[in-house]
Homo-oligomer: A and B are copies of this chain.
């Protein structure tokens, strides 16, 4: 482990530090995890500012955070005087302002495929399983814990089945979702698999997703973005 840490520190010391980025996030947030992967891949140094989503009723509901993001959600990325919200909009911004290494292919059809994979997670799976939705199911809807777990696993299973079929169909699938380098699709896939494992969603039916996830997690860029590697991890 110490070898990895020194390798990582050596990498970080070479990063562009000119304009310090500030990432408001939470170690367990899938959406913040996506942005951490993108920042790591692009070797952009950033200051991590934890926003505890559970403590004191949720720091995201406090006046100072709401001023930054009225949607009361992490991540928020500050780049100088700019305040950016929505993980995929943030990653597209990083791609436009720091294009190398790229997180999107260069050709329009390839970019469309990668964005479709990313959105199939960001729109079709993740929004149904986040904190505020699980809370609403509990109250006022009075859905008990076993049925809330079923709910989460149902949407992940539906989404992963479609994603697996798509990855099996496309000849662009490689070590990663698209070819042999990370894209924004992998930035979304890895946090979603993390989340699926946490709620005991079986992953055996999705061998391609599983293989890509394992490959990603062997890379420092992904491993160092994981929840347990964050300063606010519990």
Question: Which residues of A approach B to under 8 Å, CB–CB?
Answer: 69-73, 82, 84-86, 88-90, 92-93, 96-97, 108-109, 111-113, 115-116, 118-120, 122-124, 126-128, 132-133, 136, 140-141, 143, 147, 150-151, 154, 158-159, 161-163, 165-166, 169
One of B86, B93, B132, B147 near A141 (C-beta < 8 A): B147
Query: Bound state CA distance, A140 and B161, in angstroms?
Result: 20
Closest B residue by C-beta to A127: B127
Identical copies of this chain, number: 2
Chain B residues with Cβ under 8 A from A112's Cβ?
82, 84, 89-90, 92-93
Chain B residues with Cβ under 8 A from A126's Cβ?
123
Chain B residues with Cβ under 8 A from A128's Cβ?
127-128, 133
Query: Bound state CA distance, A113 and B79, in angstroms?
Result: 13
* Cβ-defined contact, A108 with B124, below 8 A: no
One of B73, B123, B150 near A122 (C-beta < 8 A): B123
Chain B residues with Cβ under 8 A from A124's Cβ?
71, 73, 127
